[in-house]
Amino acid sequence: MIFKDRIEAGTLLAAELRVYKNENALVLAIPRGGVPLGYVVAKQLHLPLEVVLSKKIGHPLHKEFAIGAVTLKSRVLSDTALEVSQSYIDEETKRIKALLAKRYQEFYGKKTPLQLKGKILIIIDDGIATGNTIISTIEMLHEEQPKKIVVAIPVSSKSALIKLKNTPFVDEVICLSTPENFRAVGQFYETFDQVDDAEVKILLNKNTVD
């Protein structure tokens, strides 16, 4: 299945998610690629839209290798973090939270983050290759005590989808396509332009106005 663009993918996801229209739910988009889809879903279901701001903690010797992840409110660590000093982890957590706070202010200004407790969280991305990033994000969102966590994506590799469905904190997974020979998310879109921070900000502000 090839999607015309993120807007079409978002429209198709919204149709699958219509049971949540006007519910006590919140659309959480993974930036940046998930935001155009999240905007379409939120608009069609009459729900608020926010972005999930999270960033990995890199291993001190191999920055690309994640030993955990941080959001504005919480942190999760993998087993590999056990071999890393606590002071490094604490310093990185503090640094990353400051970066995320700055990004949040750029996107939202002085608006307070919405409460997640007791809400249905609909997590949207434009596709999943490995699933590692979104799974660590889900673990952190679970700490906020939502009523339910739903993950909705247009396309995923088969291995990532299995991982997602086996994640204990996920209540429902909606995936429109799990193609063979999955190499990258972009190969399943006719148009797959880079989404920049300016576009994210515009869509978030439009959702507030709408």
Residues 46 and 148 in one domain: yes
pTM to 2 decimal places: 0.88
> 103: cis peptide before it, omega within 30°?
no
Q: What is the CATH classification number for the domain harbouring 153?
A: 3.40.50.2020
**Residues 83 and 40 grouped into a single domain:** no
Name the burial class of residue 166, with classes exposed (0-12), middle (13-18) and buried (19+) by CB atoms within 10 angstroms of its CB: exposed
Q: Is 1 contained in some domain?
A: no
Of 77, 31, 69, the closest CA to residue 50 belongs to 31
In a domain, 201, yes or no: yes
Percent of the chain with pLDDT over 70: 99
Buried b (16+ CB within 10 A) or exposed e, 25-44: bbbbbbbbbbbbbbbbbbbb
Helix (H, G, I), strand (E, B) or coil at 140: helix
- In this structure, the answer to whether residues 129 and 189 fall within a common structural domain is yes
Residue 196: burial class (beta carbons within 10 Å; 0-12, 13-18, 19+): exposed
User: Domain of 32?
Assistant: 6-52+117-209
Token pair 């679970």: residue: 142
Per-residue pLDDT 10s for the chain (210 aa) are 999 999 999 999 999 999 999 999 999 999 899 999 999 999 999 999 999 988 889 999 988 788 888 888 888 888 889 999 999 999 999 999 999 999 888 888 878 878 899 999 999 999 998 887 788 889 889 989 999 999 999 999 999 999 999 999 999 999 999 999 999 999 999 999 999 999 999 999 888 655
Q: Which distant-in-sequence residues (6+ apart) come within 8 Å of 109 by Cβ?
A: none
Residues 61-86 pLDDT 10s: 988 788 888 888 888 888 889 999 99
Assign residue 62 the CATH number of its domain: 3.30.1310.20
